Amino acid sequence: MLTTRTITLFRPGCVDYTQAWEWMRRLVADRSAGRATDSLLLLEHPPTITLGNKARPENILITSADLVARGVAIVQVDRGGDVTYHAPGQIVGYPILKLSQHGGDIGRYVRNLEETIIRTLADCGVTGLRVPGLTGVWVNDGSAKICAMGVKLSAAGITSHGFALNVNPDLAGFAQIVPCGISNRAVTSISALLGRAIVPAEVEPILLRHFAAVFDVALEEG
């Protein structure tokens, strides 16, 4: 009889991006060395622009001085992808998983993250979908992104970074960038699509239930 794997869940609230990134790296190191089991960080960030390893500077549309004046941090990170934006009102998930124990295929892993979000959105009354050739989850026939994704796989085969699901962030923040380097598609949120206020705390239990089902794991609060 197969035993469901247990993942440690951390939900610290709103955490500065650089602090969360350092925490993520420690968890990756501990998982690589066998000092820890798989884990999932579920949190929010204050306004932050992050640049992945394929980011182009021209995809930030305002000056660094203006970003500082607005209280928006800029961080160069080691995930895949281009430029993205974090703000309160997102559910940000960072799974720290030993990939060999979850199918061993990074493409399948990303599809599973997308599936988790698609199922979560369905329970919220939103139809999410994939767009061929693009990563993340989209709505409105693919014309708007609702969940950005960017991941990293360490040399030891441990995943990090992850997804950012827009529940009710201030969407004006995305006008500061070309989100994910894609200029011809919009960014939206669950609240915008439903036309009513909804907060991450309402969506988190739904997302965690689907994450556990898709990845066939049990979540245990850390």
* Catalytic residue annotation: 180
Q: Nearest Cα to 185, choosing from 149, 139, 133?
A: 139
**Spatial distance between the Cα atoms of 47 and 207, rounded to a whole number of angstroms:** 22
Per DSSP, the three-state class of 6 is strand
- The dihedrals phi and psi of 4, each to the nearest 5 degrees, come to -65, 130
Per DSSP, the three-state class of 114 is helix
Contact 90, 167 (CB under 8 A): yes
DSSP 99: G
Amino acid at the residue 182 = I
Per DSSP, the three-state class of 42 is strand
Whole-number Cα distances in Å, 39 to 4, 11, 114, 144, 181: 14, 11, 18, 30, 30
Q: Which two tokens stand for residue 67?
A: 């970003």
Q: Which two tokens stand for residue 154?
A: 């360490």
